[in-house]
Amino acid sequence: QVQLVESGGGSVQSGGSLRLSCEASQYTFSRYSRNCMGWFRQAPGKGREVVALINAGGTTSYAESVKGRFTISQDNAKNTLYMQMNSLKPEDTAMYYCATDPFGRCDDTNGHPLYWGQGTQVTVSS
């Protein structure tokens, strides 16, 4: 059974940094030529949104609200996805989820991505 386990969340003050990790088991990112991985977040009372994506070729994309502050990366040897979050703002407060899809469907529609972690909470105080 595929498992994605996030870690690295916590409480920080505005302007601080956190590094999220997402380790996969029973699933090898590099095995699928069209694999995509991403970080998503959901704040209380709001819908889930895409934060950052990375595909098998290493191409990344970011939500406008986090560009220049967050960096997504992957380590295939460790089968782990990361996201470095700098200059955090109170509006970044949310539950953060990692997800992956072997078919390149990370658009958060129609049941994709297929595999999701349980989430890690990030709280940024002003």
pLDDT(109) > 90? no
Q: In which element (H, E) is residue 59 found?
A: none
pLDDT(111) > 90? no
- pLDDT of 75 reads 95
pLDDT(87) > 90? yes
DSSP code of residue 30: G
Q: Tokens 């995509």 label which residue?
A: 36
pLDDT(19) > 90? yes
- pLDDT of 119 reads 97
- pLDDT of 107 reads 87
Q: In which element (H, E) is residue 37 found?
A: strand 36-42
Backbone angles phi, psi at 23, to 5 degrees: -100, 130
The mean predicted confidence, pLDDT, of the chain is 96
